[in-house]
Amino acid sequence: MPFLQYIRWVGSLLLVILFAANRLLSGAVVPVPSPDVSLNEKISIRIHSQQNWPERVVFDTTRSTLEPASPVVAETNIRSAQKLAEATRH
């Protein structure tokens, strides 16, 4: 229970400080005079990029079917396979 009392006391104190600061620091707001020139005439921003982007990728869609893949012939070296098998046994 002391913890809850502490939280209530500190929370109340902070709330009172907030209201007091608002009362003391809030002054009359001075209106800003309107400019003679509108913002779109006054401000001119130009953005240029130094980065060169890659060329555009163009896909050739004139070919309607895919060419069949050529069969891959796997060559195995029997001696290296035997040496590897012997090395893993030891």
pLDDT confidence of residue 84: 74
Helix (H, G, I), strand (E, B) or coil at 67: coil
Neighbouring CB atoms inside 10 A of 41's CB total 9
pLDDT tens-digit map of 16-64: 999 999 888 877 777 777 777 776 677 777 787 888 888 888 887 887 6
CA angle (77, 78, 82) in 5-degree steps: 125
Alpha carbon distance 39, 8 (integer Å): 50
Question: Which pTM was predicted?
Answer: 0.32
Return the domain boundaries, the chain.
1-25
pLDDT tens-digit map of 69-89: 666 555 556 666 777 777 776
pLDDT confidence of residue 62: 81
